[in-house]
A and B are shown apart, each in its own frame.
Chain A
Amino acid sequence: MKPYLRQQVPKTFADIPEGTAYEAGFLVTKNAGWRNIRPVVAADKCVGCLQCYLYCPDGVISKAGDKVTIDYDFCKGCGICKKMCRFGAIDMEVEK
């Protein structure tokens, strides 16, 4: 199961379980604010070799048909995907 953002976020003590165990894959915050550059995929140059997907430390790149798509909610803008792309299909653009 892929961890995903929840609508209901625990706010009071009553929302928190008494034990130390809790639901897996429970996300309440995004990582988008960490980024000052963002990877952008040029669809015409992407050949779907998936090396960016394989080497992304955050797992934010996923298959989309025979190309890839990036989840900007959790991308930290490290730039590894751009380095891994032998076809020059990924460019890092400054966040505005």
Chain B
Amino acid sequence: MSLNAKTLNEDEFFFGHKACAGCGGSLAVRIALKVLGEKAIAVLPAGCMSAVGFNFPQLCFGNNAIISTFAGTASMLTGVEAGLRAQGIHDFHAVGFAGDGGTADIGIQALSGAIDRNDDILYICYDNEAYMNTGIQKSSLTPFGAKTTTTPAGKNIRGNIRPKKNMFEIAAAHGIAYAATASVGYLNDFINKVEKASKIKGTKYIHVIAPCPTGWGTATDETIDFAKEIVDCGLWYLAEYEGGEFILNHQPKEFTDVAQYLKKQSRFAQLTEEDIDTVRNSRDQKWESIQKNYKRI
């Protein structure tokens, strides 16, 4: 039977933390740890979740947790896994929680190395689409058009001019044991993917969209709405990569309006109709390739 709200571990392993109200990232970490249980060993690089979880002497992880170097989430996971295995301990999960910057920019080399070695680790990237912890700077997972402090909106350039990097397909391109995308708006899907990953041997990568009210310029109670809408309007998709195949888990019957999704967030407030068309076209292009290359279930 698959896990759900009623059957999930009732214990809390990420509690009392100092994340902003309505934080999507902390929800992803909390739920993943509830699935993995107290034998999970969490590795967190610099980023929101280490900044809000470890405020000595306030330590908000109920399981073993450690801060790694910014670039070294995956390599520390490798070490944790190898060290425990050498001691004859086998009933644990080495799990990493890194943000989008810590994964796609700073930590990509260590992650790539770990996937190449096929170390038995689970790497979860909570993607809030910018360096939120340091005050909203652009990362390579910031979408086109988003306003950040390093991609400000002016008269000639309106926010970020580059598209979002596809980390899921980059991880898959290594021939990884298991990779998946998820969203905190569809938690049952995320729970199933974490549970499935925990049973697979080899490197696992899960990329979960986690809206940030502070950085996105949205109300604190709208986090889940945006995490759902980004999937419903087609700017994000729920998929898996396993055994050399891409699988699409969720096909929206009809996409909701991209303009509506963008206009509600202050980071996109400056976009013109033309910019919104650019976003819409890149979405349609991506989905064309998904229809061609992804298997459906």
Contacts and interface: CB of A to CB of B under 8 A. Distances in A.
Interface in B8-50: 8, 10-24, 26-27, 30-31, 38
Contacts of B277: none
A22 B67 CA distance: 12
A50 B18 CA distance: 24
Given A57-B26, A59-B14, A62-B10, A84 B224 contact: yes
Given A79-B22, A80-B223, A3 B187 contact: no
B5 A51 contact: yes
Contacts of B59: 3, 22-27
B220 A25 contact: no
A3 B30 CA distance: 12
A3 B60 contact: yes
Contacts of A53: 5
A69 interface: no
Contacts of A41: none
Of listed A54, A60, A83, residue having the most chain B CB within 10 A = A54
A78 B59 CA distance: 22
B217 interface: no
A80 B16 contact: no
B141 interface: no
Interface residues of B, number: 42
Given A3-B16, A77-B21, A83-B224, A55 B62 contact: no
A54 B62 contact: no
Which secondary structure dominates chain B's binding surface?
loop
Contacts of B225: 83
Which secondary structure dominates chain A's binding surface?
loop
B57 interface: yes
Given A24-B64, A27-B16, A57-B19, A78 B220 contact: yes
Contacts of A74: 15-16
Contacts of B38: 1
B6 interface: yes
Contacts of A22: 56-57, 59
Interface in B178-205: 187
B23 A57 contact: yes
Given A22-B57, A55-B187, A76 B62 contact: no
B65 interface: yes
A10 interface: yes
A58 interface: yes
A1 B57 contact: no
A66 B27 CA distance: 23
Nearest to A57: B27
Interface string A10-25: 1000001000001111
Given A34-B21, A76-B21, 4 more contacts: A3-B61, A23-B59, A59-B14, A79-B221
Nearest to A71: B15
B38 to A, nearest CB: 6
A27 B27 contact: no
B221 A78 contact: yes
